[in-house]
Structure formats: C-alpha cells, structure tokens
Structure 1
Amino acid sequence: MISADGFSSTDETNSALRRLRALPQHDLLTMAGDWLGELAPWRSAETLGAIAALPAETVLASLFVFGEQVTESEAREDVPGPLIDLLLDAGVLTESSGKLSAEYCLVRVDGMALITSWRAAGRDRGTYGPWICSDSLTLARIIASRRDVRRCLDLGCGTGVLGLVAARNGAAAVGVDVSPECVAAARLNAHVNGLADRLTAQVGDILSLSVGDRYDLVVSNPPCLPLRRGALGWLAGEAGLDGLDFFWELVSRLPALLTEDGEALIQAAAYGDERGPFLVPRLTEELRRHGLAGRLLVRPTTPVRWPAFASRDENQQLTGPLGEEVREYVARIGATHYYGFVLSLRPGDPGLAVGRFR
C-alpha cells in the first residue's frame, strides 16, 4: 500500500528529493507515456523492443510495465539509488529476498504520468484501489476543456487524475476518498507531476461529507457496482441493486457545493432498454427539485453486465444467492441494456437534455 509519509509538504525542501528531480531517470515517472500508450498492460514484443535501448528503462519497464521482479543489486546498477529509495519508502516498490517488485504500475493520461494499482480491487485489499479505467479517461478529457475553473472538488478521487487535470489548468483542487491508499496515491501523483501546490487530498466518505466551501467544478466517478450494499462483505463500492446509490446522493448535495456559475461532471452507469437508461424520468424530477439544469451524454449500450469481484461460473454468470438476487432484480425491472454516461449539471432553470457520445 502506498504510504504518504514520504510525500509530506516538507519534502519540497528535502535535498535528496531535489537531487532526485534533477536526475534524467526521474522521468521514469513520465517515461510510460512516451513509449507505452495510455493504459496498462503493454505486453507486446514491439513495446519491449522500444524500451530496451537503455538499462534503466529496461529495469523500470520490467517493474512497472510488465510486473516482473528485478534483483535489487542489478536495479541499483542502472537506476539511481535515490529513486529506488524513494519508491521503497513510499511502498510503491517492495523488497523480498533481494528482489524488487512493483506494487503499482505507471500509466499515461493526457501528458501526466500516474502511479496506479495493477487492478481495481481485491479481497486482499478490502477496497477499491487507486485505479484508472477508460471511464476515467473520458471524464479527464472533458475536464481538460474547462479552462476557467478556480476551485475543483474531486469526490472519490482514486489516483487523483480528475483533480490533477483541473489543477494543471490552474485550479486549486481538493480530492476526497474513503480509502487512505487512494488519498496517498493522489498526493504522490500530485508530487510526481509537479502539482503538489495545487492539489490536496483528504480521507472522507462522500456519503457523509461536510465540505463547507463552494466550487466552480465538482467531478466524480463514484462507485457504481450494481449490488446490494454490503453484498460482498467488504468495501467494494456496492451502490445498490441499480448501482446508483452514490450517484443520487451526489446529485442531492450539489446545490450546496456549486458556485452560482459552477458545473458538476459525474460519470456513472445505469440499466435500461433499447430506448435508453431507466433513470431519465427520476433524474428529471430530481433536477427540478434541486434547481439544476442537466445534460446527459449516453455511451453506446452494452449488454447487461454482472458486477465485478463476485463469484461466477464458467459461463460468467453470478453464482449462489447473490447471483439469484441480481438476476431477479434485472428481470423485474426489464433491463436489457447497460449504459455508461456522463452528466453535466449547473444551477439554473431545471431541465434535462439527453444526447449521445459521437
């Protein structure tokens, strides 16, 4: 698990860290994007050939791209010692029997290098990890187009990618996540990308958050697993059988979070049929109640999917009582499609416009 201990504000005056940032290999923390595209894993022969020119790059790629162990003595021959020490202190690298392993990988998002989990979650973690998926990339690119934001709030910040995109545009950003690991990852990624003075992160539950300030931009890619809360017995982001518990809570809190000219951008997913997602009538009513104007951009539909992290059979169907519960719910509501979407909300004349990604 990433430790934030090595990345406090005092690190900015730490001479070892200053020396580290002067080293070319510190760009390990940007090298992933130069050669390796936007999402891990990158395991093709072409990729391996592209990163094999220099010893340090080979070592770092073995650790952070291919997830391979590297002998510590060999790593220190090619990679600057301060960098190895920094990553060990933060828990990004671990050492066992003289071999180094990367607990996290590097990904590239719109010019930033981010340390992120190899996988979204697992029972060994007991929670979501700081993870990046295609949904995060979609929302990040929309945020990047918002150039006049002064203050941004990222709820359920994970790696911090959404707040960091706003911070890179000049905003003062605040990230909130229930997972201390995610908060530490967001702080580390802020340092890695030179944005530590513009992004702060704190532990908090978005369902019971008291912020006390208003923001020009509120962003969130909240947990949306369509499972009964507590169904997996660990903090996996179950958001009710419709997957929208966190979504509705966020919508209700927005009037108290947004400035007069502010905007909220929320990424989520919902059941529906061939006509579209079922949430539209309720969302229209909620916006009327809260005095919000909205634009719903719907992704191309996918088949109804079973939630991740739950036990399945060889046909990828949920097994046991949990599977029966979900199948009964899907049949009862008549869902045949599953839609990802981005919702933009602003204070103003209530109403909802529905469009589709092109």
Structure 2
Amino acid sequence: MTSPPPPAATGPAVAALRAALETTGFTVDGVEELLGETASGALHREQTLPARRAAAGSDDPRATLAALFLLGVDVARAALDRALPGVGADGAVGLGLVETAGQGSDDPVRAVVDLRPYAATDANGPVSWWLTSDLGETATGRRLAVDHVLGAGGASTTLAQVTVRDQVGRVLDLGTGCGIQALHAARHAGSVVGTDISRRALAFARFNTVLNVPDADLTLRHGSMLEPVADERFDLVVSNPPFVITPHAGEPGAAVTEALGEFEYRDGGRSGDDLVRDLVTGVGSVLAPGGVAQMLVNWEHRRGEPWTERVGAWLDASGLDGWVIERELLDPAEYAETWIRDGGTTPEREPAAWASAYGAWLDDFASRDVEAVGFGIVTLRRPSDVGTTAGRVTLRRLEEHHGSLRQPLGGHLAASLAAHDWLEAHDDDALSSARLLVSADVTEERYLTPGAADPNVVIVRQGDGLGRGIQASTALAAFVGVCDGELTVGQTVGALAALLDVPPSDLAGELLPAVRGLVRDGFLGPA
C-alpha cells in the first residue's frame, strides 16, 4: 500500500494553522464537549459511529475538523474554509493535510493525514498540542501500510508520564516516530535530538515540532538505534523503540507477511527481544555521568528461567544502575491477537491470513519456550563519579506492579532515585541521626477481628506513585506515625523500645532496614 507524502513543515503556513486551530477550539476538551461523553468514550475505543452521529449536520467548526481528521469523513470545501480561518482548504492542501475534488464550495475534501488535538500531563505539568501522523484503520477502513507513522498511542502517553523531568542539558529521543517524546523533552532540556530509521516519521516529527514548539532547539537525524549519536553524550535518553516481538523465520507469503505486521513503527527486525536486550546493554555508551535512560519495552518469559534473572543479566551487562517495573503480562496467544489486530487484520475480515499469522506467532514463541511476554518500564542510570557512589553501580531493582498507577509517575521515579542516593550516603549511624517526615499521601489501614481491641493487620499505604501498601509491624506503624521531623530516627527508636520494653539495639535491627525501604519508596523523606 502506497502512503501519501508526509505534511510539509513550512514555517509561516504552519504558524497560520496553529492560530486557526486555537481560534476554532479544536482541543481535546473542545472535541469531547462537542461529541459528548458517550461518543467520546466510543471513539477512544476506536468505534466511530456515535461520533459520526454527533458530528453529522453540525456547522460547528470543531465538528468539521473532527469529521475530517478523526473520523475519515469527507467535508465540503466551504466548511473547511470556515473551520480553518486564515488557512482554508487551499492552505491545508499546500501543507499536505488534505486533498480536494475541485474548487466548488460544495466539492468534497478528504484528509490524507491524521491531525488531532493532544493533551497530557507529565511531571512538568499539562500540555495541549496538535499532532499529525498517518491516518489509522478507524478512518481509512484499510490495513496499515508498512511505513505507517503512528500518532500518540497509549504507550507514548505512558512514557511521557513516567519520564523524569529534571532540567537537563541534552536529551535524546531514540525512535522519535511522530516526535511526541521530543516535544515533551523540549520543555525541560537545553537541546533535544530525535532519531528514527524512518525518514517518513522524521518528516512528521519535523512538522509537529514547527506546529507546537517552533522555538525549541530540536534536531532530527536519520539512522538506526544509537548509530546517529554514537560519539555523543546525553543527560536523558527516552525511547519507545520498535519492541514488538514479531516472527521473521521462513517465507510465509505476502498475505501472511502483511498480517504479521512488520511495520517500521513497532518491528525492529530482530528475533524475540534481542533489540530490547541490545538497547538496555548498549545505551550507557551515550549517557553522560549521572545520565538517565527510560524506555517502554517487552521481554520474554522463558520456561525454566525467571524473567528477573534474564532481564537482570541485561542490567548486569549494561554497567548501569537499573530499575525495571513489569506493568503487564500477556500469554503468547493474547500477545499475538493484540498485535495482529493492531495491524488491521481481523478474523472476521481475513480469516485465512489471521489464522496463518496467529500460527506463525505461536510457532515463533514455542521455538524459544516463551510462556509469556512482559511489558514495562526500564529506568537506567550511568553512575556518576561525583559523591559517595564513586562510579559504582548501586541500584538493581526488578519488580512486578500490575496494578493501577497514579500518573504522572516521573516525579515519583525521580524522587525515588534521589532517595536511593541519599540512603547510599547514609550508613545506619547517619540514618539514626537523621530526622524524617511522613509523606502527605501516606495513610494507614487497620484490620481487626470484630470485638478485638488491637488490629490483626496494619497496612501503611501511599496514595501517590506506585500506590504501594506495606504490612507493618506494631513498632513500624508506630514509627511511621510519629515521623514529624522533631525527633531523630535514633531517638524515635529509643522511645519506642522503652514503650515496648525491648532492647533498643534489637528494635533498631528490626526497624532500620524497613525504614530504608520506606524512604526509598517515598513513604518517608528527610525533614
């Protein structure tokens, strides 16, 4: 399938488009207000009929733009002229956004790219932009092209929300796609470099940069993985790489190859999770001392080998501090179904291609004894030569958290990294001399047998971040309850030891490791 040319990023014309979109109110809130809750919810599920009904017959400019760019509905030239003041249909044609059937006011106009409002909140606060990408199956009714450029999907938004947003000098967005991570990074970086193997993706990223952050110091480079920046260093690397595990063995035929979905935006052309492994082990080569890399990736769970050992070996080989959080786990059948549908193939429309692709995926997983596929967040950091760590790897965490998150998570992850460093600089004597405060989001849950005076179980729970709940002993719950910054840790342990009639050294041996965990995870912090 031949893709249309990407939009043309000409400065003055794009500035006029930005002004028109602002004037029209074509924002996430504006579209949801127009369509209503039911139609908006259906559209998020890629069901367009309720939205088509809500927009039909409306002369609201937002309805015109939503019908054209979000729903794949042709609109009249005169309606688009009204919806984009100062740009009009001719200007949209010049930008490469639409094509027209003629010059008459009632002649139809058809979108050739997806242009939609984008709103998100990262650790720096809310953003409201517009993003161009290729039209999806919802609008076209066709399978995606191999060179399809994806817009900001769920993974893109998640990565933007979990990324730490400290002010930094240089940021690398590896595999930039339509450029969404680079746009977020431009708000807190001196300069940003975005790379991609797809020249088509770089063209969309360039257009989106000019449309949303025209004054940003943002450079786009063509090339695979780390090759375009091999001899450079960055303070932050973000990546939503082509991590989808896709079968490549054999000659399945054109129809099955299309159904397998070897799309540039998601398939790195490697076997299994080799691409992710190489990125984890190699990204340290472009990190400055103290630099952080964050990515969303898949990894295989193989029979007889705990995933923590397998991915943990990648961390060991990287020479970096590493923190891996598994957010989701799919069995091989679920994984195959997800990505075959993602490429536009369904069992109802193409049963033979669906069955062949499904079988190829299951055979590929079976060849490596894959029992499941994990999806999650990888945070890496190059140890700094400054301070007590002296260039040593000190952080190695691999955990599963399949529950809900309170987004944006980037601030929590940054605070946890800082807490880890603080703990590394404080041995038990120094910790005992410190004063701690309980975080404002921490609550305590008590579970009692009916009629009992004392609780059977006490849970200390955080409302922010990962929403962890820790089962606390009586002593630990009491310790957390009195952390108001007045007493030192040692003084608090001493007072509790007297109250509980136990030796202070024994209580310190019980509490200090638990207190370290609570500081690391954000329940407690230095006063």
- 1:302 aligned to 2:319? no
Rate the CA distance shift 1:225–1:45 in 2: closer, same or farther, 3 A: closer
> Among the aligned pairs, what percent are the same residue?
22
Partner of 1:288: 316
How many residues align structurally?
348
Rate the CA distance shift 1:265–1:85 in 2: closer, same or farther, 3 A: farther
Q: Deviations over 1:248-304 (max 9, x none)?
A: 2322331221110111111111232799x9553233223223311111111132332
Q: Quote the Cα distance in structure 1 between the aligned partners of 2:22 and 2:298.
A: 38
The higher-RCO structure (CA 8 Å, 6+ apart) is 1
Q: Quote the Cα distance in structure 2 between the aligned partners of 1:32 and 1:284.
A: 40
Rate the CA distance shift 1:205–1:300 in 2: closer, same or farther, 3 A: closer
- 1:353 aligned to 2:400? no
Q: Quote the Cα distance in structure 2 between the aligned partners of 1:4 and 1:219.
A: 25
Q: Deviations over 1:82-133 (max 9, x none)?
A: 2534432232222235421122141423133222333389876332413322
* Contact 2:182 2:192 (C-alpha < 8 Å) held by counterparts: yes
Query: Which of 29, 51, 64 pairs up with 1:59?
Result: 64
Q: Give the 3-state SS of the residue equivalent to 1:319 in structure 2.
A: helix
Partner of 2:283: 254
* Contact 1:226 1:242 (C-alpha < 8 Å) held by counterparts: yes
Q: Quote the Cα distance in structure 2 between the aligned partners of 1:134 and 1:328.
A: 28
Q: Quote the Cα distance in structure 1 between the aligned partners of 2:149 and 2:69.
A: 16
* Contact 2:7 2:204 (C-alpha < 8 Å) held by counterparts: yes
Q: Deviations over 1:44-96 (max 9, x none)?
A: 74796599876322211211222210122342244325253443223222223
Q: Which aligned pairs between 1:319-330 and structure 2 lie closer than 5 A? A: 319-320=355-356, 323-330=358-365
Partner of 2:27: 31
Rate the CA distance shift 1:313–1:154 in 2: closer, same or farther, 3 A: same
Rate the CA distance shift 1:207–1:229 in 2: closer, same or farther, 3 A: farther
Q: Which amino acid aligns with 1:133?
A: G
Partner of 1:165: 184
Q: Which amino acid aligns with 1:180?
A: R
Partner of 1:343: 378
**Where in structure 2 are there 5+ consecutive unaligned residues?**
33-39, 121-127, 251-256, 384-392, 405-527
Q: Which amino acid aligns with 1:353?
A: R
Q: Quote the Cα distance in structure 1 between the aligned partners of 2:25 and 2:193.
A: 22
- 1:222 aligned to 2:241? yes
Q: Quote the Cα distance in structure 2 between the aligned partners of 1:310 and 1:51.
A: 26
- 1:130 aligned to 2:150? yes
Q: Quote the Cα distance in structure 2 between the aligned partners of 1:131 and 1:190.
A: 14
* Contact 1:63 1:101 (C-alpha < 8 Å) held by counterparts: yes
Q: Quote the Cα distance in structure 2 between the aligned partners of 1:173 and 1:260.
A: 18
Partner of 2:161: 141
Partner of 2:366: 331
Q: Which amino acid aligns with 2:300?
A: Y
Q: Which amino acid aligns with 1:130?
A: L
Q: Quote the Cα distance in structure 2 between the aligned partners of 1:170 and 1:60.
A: 33
**Where in structure 1 are there 5+ consecutive unaligned residues?**
none
* Contact 2:295 2:377 (C-alpha < 8 Å) held by counterparts: yes
Q: Quote the Cα distance in structure 2 between the aligned partners of 1:170 and 1:29.
A: 29
